[in-house]
Amino acid sequence: MKSFIYIALISLICVIAAVRCKKSSGLSGGGLGGNATLLITPEHHGQFVDTCEVYIKYGTLNAPSNGLYDDSASCVMSDTTPIAVFNHLTRGLYYIYGVGFHSLYTPPNVMGGVPVSVYTEDSNTVYLPTYTYYP
């Protein structure tokens, strides 16, 4: 009888644990084929980065271990703000990485990455924090 109670108790705990487990963001995938747009603005110490090449990896919140990204875009100035645009994205997970040049700092080379979750298929602005690196 004791073994039946232990088995029932363990089964109950497993069922409760399985029911309580949820995906953290409810999102998966990510890629081309939707109506979402990401507008990426790189920053360094609260100021815009003069020149930056921005890369995107679909379907993940982590930088790719092999260093290969799915697409890239160069920042262009819109008024006084540098913006890299990625169009036609679906809801999902993305990793954004940028390498640029910030003329107000020595050394001027900056880079940085940020995970992005897109929940709605509309325009989403992302500020990309960067830090100084020595090539």
* pLDDT computed for residue 1 by the predictor: 55
Q: How confident is the model at residue 5 (pLDDT cuts 50, 70, 90)?
A: low
Q: Where are the domains of the chain?
A: 32-132
What architecture does CATH give domain 32-132? Answer: Sandwich (2.60)
Closest CA to 133 of 68, 65, 48, 44: 44
Token pair recorded at residue 41: 């603005």
Instruction: Enter the pTM of the model.
Output: 0.78
In the chain, how long is the greatest CA-to-CA distance? 77
pLDDT tens-digit series, residues 52-93: 999 999 999 999 999 999 999 999 998 889 999 999 999 999
